[in-house]
Amino acid sequence: MRHLGEAIIKQRLPGIRQIAIDFAGIDPVDTPVPIQPVQHYSIGGLSCDEYGETSVAGLFTVGECSCISVLGANRLGGNSLLETIVFGKRAGERAAEVASSGLPSGDTSAVEDALRQECAGIQSLRRRSSGERQVVIRPEMQRAMTQHVGVFREQAGLRETVNKLAELKGRYGHVVLDNSGDAFNYDLVDTLELGGMLELAAATAMAALERTECRGSHWRTDHSGRDDERWLRHSLASYHAGGPPSLTYKDVVITNYPPRPRRY
């Protein structure tokens, strides 16, 4: 979205320079601005307990990168504060307890190996001399997700997107940089960012394909209504050895407020 609102200079009257806005390919001085839904918040995240503690010893998560299950399928206004103020405090206090009691003295070789592999991958990327730029792959991912994984989605479009993302991930494996330097290398940052975006997009699209119901703000046009009997559960996506995401599921814990159909 950051590239859509770039200001440009246009010559409107002889001898007078005025600033106009080029937004979404149109000039709002002359043309109405198109309105459409956009994604601005990730409801899901790393699976954790009510203290933000993950299955990895000593690793905590909170906020938009966590899934403490306070949001459901349609985030309510103010829930961001709940995540940060309430669960941020709980996660911080629990992390302090774990740290003060001493972290588990387990084998750290897996973390060290992952760090070495990441560093080696970046160096290999910098040395690569031929391949596609990330600016070619990224718009294709954006178009596929916007067209088929928006508020309204159906099986054929979701399956097409899952296949498209797999193709893009394969092409991303041969991506090349224009700038291999160390200082302020936004080309490297954007390229590494795209790798994470492709993985998140694949998990999102695959989970949406498998969920054959409507829930919250996510509407399957080929499946009518909500199906609590089959789908009142979280979708968990896991990656293994660079392959496609695999899905498992976790039941939703119901306490004082059982889910009810929306009547308004």
Kindly list the structural domains of the chain, giving each domain's residue range(s) and its CATH number in brackets, ordered by start: 1-35 (no CATH), 47-100 (no CATH), 118-240 (1.20.58.100)
Band of residue 2 on the pLDDT scale cut at 50, 70, 90? very low
Q: Which pLDDT score, from 0 to 100, does residue 246 have?
A: 93
Top-confidence residue, 36 or 116: 116
What residue has token string 């000039």?
27
Query: Residues with Cβ < 8 Å from 259, sequence gap 6 or more?
Result: 72, 228, 232
Query: Residues with Cβ < 8 Å from 158, sequence gap 6 or more?
Result: 148, 149, 205, 208, 209
Q: Enter the pTM of the model.
A: 0.81
Crossing angle between the packed helical segments 186-210 and 109-127, to the nearest 10 degrees? 120
Q: Which pLDDT score, from 0 to 100, does residue 6 have?
A: 43
Q: Which pLDDT score, from 0 to 100, does residue 69 have?
A: 79
Rounded distance between C-alpha atoms, residue 71 and residue 83, angstroms: 9
Q: Which pLDDT score, from 0 to 100, does residue 28 have?
A: 81
pLDDT value at 8 more than 70: no
Mean pLDDT for 118-147 is 93
Band of residue 11 on the pLDDT scale cut at 50, 70, 90? very low
pLDDT tens for each residue of 207-261: 999 999 998 878 999 998 899 999 999 999 998 777 888 999 988 888 888 877 7
What residue has token string 């695959």?
206
Q: Which pLDDT score, from 0 to 100, does residue 78 have?
A: 76
Band of residue 3 on the pLDDT scale cut at 50, 70, 90? very low
Mean pLDDT for 61-78 is 80
pLDDT tens for each residue of 143-183: 999 999 988 999 999 999 999 999 999 999 999 999 888 88
Q: Which pLDDT score, from 0 to 100, does residue 196 have?
A: 92
Q: Which pLDDT score, from 0 to 100, does residue 170 have?
A: 94
Rounded distance between C-alpha atoms, residue 228 and residue 64, angstroms: 25
What residue has token string 């596609």?
132
